[in-house]
Amino acid sequence: DGGITQSPKYLFRKEGQNVTLSCEQNLNHDAMYWYRQDPGQGLRLIYYSQIVNDFQKGDIAEGYSVSREKKESFPLTVTSAQKNPTAFYLCASSAVLLSYEQYFGPGTRLTVT
C-alpha cells in the first residue's frame, strides 16, 4: 500500500536535546511538507521541499531543520533552539509542489520535559 509513514508515534525528550522525526513516503511524490499542530490550533507549516536537496522555510521554521537527501525521505530535526517543541508533528506529501491534494502521515507526538 502506498502512503506516508512517520516514526515513532510518540517521542519523549529532555529539554536541550535535539531530536529527529522520521517521514518516509512511497507515493513517488515530489513535494513534502512538515506541519506543527497545537491543541485548538490549525496546522502551521514548518518547512517544505520540492525536490531532493532543496527545501524552503515555512511560517514557523525557527528552531527546526530538515534535509532531503532522497525523494522518499524528509526528516525533521527539532533543535534545542526551539522554545516550545512539545506538539503534534505531521508530515505530508503531494505530487507537485503546492498541489492542494496533500496526503498526510499519522503524525508524531513529541513531548519535551
Partner 1 sequence: GNSVTQMEGPVTLSEEAFLTINCTYTATGYPSLFWYVQYPGEGLQLLLKATKADDKGSNKGFEATYRKETTSFHLEKGSVQVSDSAVYFCALSSYYGGSQGNLIFGKGTKLSVKP
Which residues sit at the interface with partner 1, rule CB under 8 A? 4, 6, 40-43, 45, 48, 58, 90, 92, 97-98, 100-107
Min dist CB 104 to partner 1, Å, is: 4
Closest approach of Cβ 41 to partner 1, in Å? 6
At residue 12, what is the residue type? F
Report CA 111 to chain centroid distance, whole Å. 15
If the CB atoms of residues 2 and 16 are measured against partner 1, the closer one turns out to be 2
Long-range contacts of 66-69 (CB under 8 A, 24+ apart): 66/34, 68/32
Cβ 95 to partner 1 shortest distance, Å? 13
Task: Return the number of other C-beta atoms located less than 10 Å from residue 19's C-beta.
Answer: 18
Query: Which residue lies nearer to partner 1 by CB, 27 or 103?
Result: 103
Structure-derived torsion over alpha carbons of residues 50, 100, 92, 54, reported in degrees to the nearest 10:
10
Based on CB atoms, which residue is closest to partner 1, 16 or 84? Answer: 84
